[in-house]
Amino acid sequence: MERSGITAFRTAAVLVPALGAAVLCAALWRDSVFSPATSIVQLSALPVNSEVHLRATVLAADPAGAHIWVHDGTGAVPLTLKPPQAGIHAGEMLLLDARKTAGPAAASPAPPAKSSPAAPAQKKSARHPRSTASVEDHPPETDATDGLSLLNAAPGVVMATGKVVRVSHEWPRLAVLAISCLLLWLFVLQRLFALQDKALKKSSQVSRALQELSTAVQSLTREEAFNAEVPAPAVDEVIPLAAGFNAIMAELQRRDGIRRDAELRLRRMTLIDDVTGLPNRRLLSDRLAQCVARARREKKTVALLCVDLDGFKLVNDSYGHASGDALLAQVGQRLKGRFRHADTLARVGGDEFALVLDTLQNRGDARIIAETVLDLLKPPFEIAGHTVHIGASIGLSIFPDAAETGQLMQQADCAMYAAKRNGRSRIVQFGDDLGTAARERLTLEHELQQAIARGEIQLHYQPEYDLATGAVVRFEALARWVHPELGTILPTVFIPIAEESGLIVPLGAYIMERACAEAVAWQELARRPIQVAVNVSSVQFARDSFFEEVADVLHRTGLAPTLLQIELTESATMNGMERAAEIMLRLKRMGVSVAVDDFGTGYSCLTYLPKLPFDCLKLDRSFVSEMMLRRETRNFVGSILTLARDLQMKVIAEGIETQEQLDMIRKLGTDEAQGYLLGHPSNDPSPHLLLEAADTTHAAMA
């Protein structure tokens, strides 16, 4: 439709000017042509009343325009114009119709002296109404004079009977001008048409290039092929658009790469352990589920080993977390290459690893592999220039004894904790007895959460005596859990559960605040200062806010800081030696004394003692019982007492149950003593009974 409209317009633009020029030229030609058969020479031969067409040059004319002399190149003749045509001048060329009359109508004027056939023609032409003229019978003279006055000239024999038209000599020029204009117009049209064709062609190319670009863009976006580029079109107008799209695609590709890298990192973070590069607990669970499903179909055996490192905490605390991570990485590398490709070794958290043994031939193979793990961990590790020895406690569970994945992991974990409780560096396979113990442990953990709120945690106080004076110097607060069904549960049972579950933090805060509050009342009864000793778990002591928590308890209860003694185990002080020393110094500056409890049962014994500012050293009951049997133990206890005196520490002997033990420790120079021989723990919140018993004991000791 558009092309046909353009073609019609072009046709009209060419034909209309051409037709106009043709009409103009025809009109000019029509006004300029004359009959070659008519001339003045022939006029005399014509009969009277004959009409002719003359084309002649005016030789002379009167001012009134009634009489003129004309000449057509063959002769001259006077004419009488009827009606007169004023404004005719010599030199003009006329086209006129004339008629020959019968006789002379008037005296004929003299012919002009000189004719002027070549006089310049007037550019303007005009049409006149019909007129008549008379001319003489005899042939006129051929010469005439330009500008001859024809006033009073006699009429001739020829009359102008038709129209008189001035003929311009400019018509050829006008025709040439018209044709030139037409040619110029055609040239302009040709250029316009060429430009239009070029524009149409360019528009078509741009449209085609845009369509190709749109198709390429849709294809790439539909296929998400961000790494591809659309082809560069040959049309300059579309090149920037294609380049812009390719730039957008490049940016999308870059961002898509970033997204994919982030997804890979996220997937690795969710499935792979950063420290060891081993699968984590989530990936282990997935692979274990696959192994169990396959073993169920093929009726095979699957074993799960839960491996917990022994001694890792000491390495981590002594040499820093970076060394601990390096040790974990070395353990992973040492174990990783020693098992089948179908097996899965994973780090499930902390210093705990797990090993899935797929499609075993028999149950005994699982224990053999567990022993292999222990053997692999026996050689020392080199960590940051230090030689480190560690072991492992391994719990073992087997499918199909455990029917589900979750049950298999729970049983292996329970067996591993049993191995740690039974002396470490050993293998324990899950059995019915462990299942019962695990269920009981979970039950105790759940009920311990409610024990504090129900008032089931009670404090018993055991006195500590000065061996020189026999006087009570402090009471040690000992927690007892009075269960409504199970009765009294000792700290050796529920404290480990509280530490593993995190309940030791609220439990320890409750014990310290209650002991300090009751110690305030003792001062009024005893009429003298008596300290209270509170045991602090390593979990409590490791908290950054421990010092502030102690200060807050003293402030709320009103107990003087000098009347509080905090007892720490050796393991609690090993959680960063420098930090432990700093907190102990802050406590001592506040007035609180610090004692090391159960000394001699920890990791390093005498090696760390000079580095920490203890006030008291409590000798473990195992030394007291053995020194009565072995001289080496008595000598070791004597060395401890000498070291303590050099470090300005008091020594308290625990577990005094016989008079012989009491006499021995007094002989060795122990400062204070505690044990059933001297006083049993009592749950009386007002220990005046203990004070009375202390007076009796003092008399016996004296």
pLDDT of residue 697: 47
In angstroms, the CA 209 to CA 232 distance is: 9
Percent of the chain with pLDDT over 70: 73
Which residue pairs from 204-209 have beta carbons closer than 8 angstroms and sit at least 24 positions apart in sequence? 205/234, 205/235, 206/235, 206/237, 206/238, 209/233, 209/234, 209/235, 209/237, 209/238
Residue 120 lies in a domain: yes
pLDDT of residue 476: 93
Q: Say whether both 461 and 570 belong to one domain.
A: yes
Tracing tokens 């610090």 back to the chain, one arrives at 594
pLDDT class of 434 with cuts at 50, 70, 90: confident
Neighbours of 257 (CB within 10 A): 12
Mean pLDDT of 274-296: 89
Using a 10 angstrom Cβ sphere, with 0-12 exposed, 13-18 middle and 19 or more buried, the burial of residue 378 is exposed
In angstroms, the CA 547 to CA 566 distance is: 11
**What pLDDT, in 10s, does the model give residues 579-590?**
888 999 999 999
Q: Reduce the secondary structure of 589-629 to three states and give it as a string.
A: HHCCEEEEEEECCCCCHHHCHHHCCCCEEEECHHHHHHCCC
Decide if pLDDT at 413 tops 60. yes
pLDDT of residue 125: 35
State in Å, rounded, how far the first CA of the chain is from the last one: 132
The token duo for 23 is: 């009409």
Q: Choose between 436 and 174: higher pLDDT.
A: 436
- Under 8 Å between Cβ of 127 and 163: yes
pLDDT class of 695 with cuts at 50, 70, 90: low
Tally of helices (H runs) and strands (E runs) in the chain: 20, 22
pLDDT of residue 130: 34
pLDDT class of 512 with cuts at 50, 70, 90: very high
**What pLDDT, in 10s, does the model give residues 646-677?**
888 999 999 999 999 999 999 888 999 999 99
Decide if pLDDT at 180 tops 90. no
Query: 67-71 and 381-383 as β-strands: parallel, antiparallel, unpaired?
Result: unpaired
Q: Say whether both 562 and 677 belong to one domain.
A: yes
Query: Which of 403, 430, 457 corresponds to the end of one domain?
Result: 430
Q: Say whether both 389 and 452 belong to one domain.
A: no
pLDDT of residue 141: 39
160-176: burial string, b at 16+ Cβ within 10 Å, e else = bbbebbbbbeebeeebe
Neighbours of 41 (CB within 10 A): 13
pLDDT of residue 105: 40
Residue 608 lies in a domain: no
Decide if pLDDT at 47 tops 60. yes
The C-alpha R_g of the chain, in whole angstroms, comes to 67
Q: Which of 162-166, 174-178, 359-363 has the highest mean pLDDT?
A: 359-363
Sequential DSSP letters for 192-243: HHHHHHHHHHHHHHHHHHHHHHHHHHHHHHHHT-TT--PPPPS-TTTHHHHH
Least-confidence region, from 92-101, 104-113, 170-179, 216-225? 104-113
Residue 234 lies in a domain: no
In angstroms, the CA 662 to CA 679 distance is: 13
Q: Say whether both 51 and 132 belong to one domain.
A: yes
pLDDT of residue 510: 93
Number of domains comprising the chain: 3
In angstroms, the CA 647 to CA 649 distance is: 6
Q: Say whether both 500 and 417 belong to one domain.
A: no
**What pLDDT, in 10s, does the model give residues 590-642?**
999 999 887 766 554 566 777 888 999 998 888 888 888 888 888 888 888 88
- Under 8 Å between Cβ of 106 and 159: no
**What pLDDT, in 10s, does the model give residues 112-142?**
544 333 333 333 333 333 333 433 333 333 3
Query: Which of 119, 137, 169 corresponds to the end of one domain?
Result: 169
Decide if pLDDT at 503 tops 80. yes
- Under 8 Å between Cβ of 315 and 390: yes
Decide if pLDDT at 294 tops 80. yes
What's the pTM?
0.49
Domain extent, residue 135, equals: 34-169
Neighbours of 365 (CB within 10 A): 13
Q: Say whether both 391 and 486 belong to one domain.
A: no
Q: Say whether both 420 and 462 belong to one domain.
A: no
Query: Which of 148, 169, 190 corresponds to the end of one domain?
Result: 169
Decide if pLDDT at 481 tops 50. yes
pLDDT of residue 110: 47
Mean pLDDT of 89-117: 60
Query: Which of 324, 289, 328, 286 has its CA nearest to residue 307?
Result: 328
Residue 251 lies in a domain: no
Tracing tokens 């008629």 back to the chain, one arrives at 99
pLDDT of residue 240: 74
CA dihedral 336, 339, 342, 346 (to 10 degrees): -40
Q: Say whether both 281 and 315 belong to one domain.
A: yes
Using a 10 angstrom Cβ sphere, with 0-12 exposed, 13-18 middle and 19 or more buried, the burial of residue 251 is exposed
pLDDT of residue 590: 94
pLDDT of residue 607: 65
Average pLDDT, the chain: 77
Q: Say whether both 415 and 543 belong to one domain.
A: no
Mean pLDDT of 363-369: 87
**What pLDDT, in 10s, does the model give residues 202-245?**
667 667 767 766 776 676 666 666 556 666 665 666 677 777 77
Least-confidence region, from 105-114, 333-342, 482-491, 681-690? 105-114
Decide if pLDDT at 694 tops 60. no
Decide if pLDDT at 477 tops 90. yes
3-state DSSP call for residue 390? coil
In angstroms, the CA 505 to CA 540 distance is: 6
Residue 609 lies in a domain: no
**What pLDDT, in 10s, does the model give residues 552-580?**
999 999 999 999 999 998 777 766 778 88
- Under 8 Å between Cβ of 123 and 67: no
Residue 29 lies in a domain: no
Tracing tokens 């492992």 back to the chain, one arrives at 392
Q: Say whether both 403 and 327 belong to one domain.
A: yes
In angstroms, the CA 637 to CA 647 distance is: 15
pLDDT of residue 82: 75
- Under 8 Å between Cβ of 614 and 593: no
Residue 196 lies in a domain: no
Cis geometry, peptide bond prior to residue 400 (ω within 30 degrees of 0):
yes
Q: Choose between 700 and 51: higher pLDDT.
A: 51
Q: Which residues 6+ apart lie within 8 Å of 604 measured at CB?
A: 570, 574
Q: Say whether both 164 and 288 belong to one domain.
A: no
Q: Choose between 678 and 42: higher pLDDT.
A: 678
pLDDT of residue 151: 34
Q: Say whether both 393 and 334 belong to one domain.
A: yes
pLDDT of residue 353: 94
CATH number at residue 681: 3.20.20.450
Residue 683 lies in a domain: yes
pLDDT class of 144 with cuts at 50, 70, 90: very low
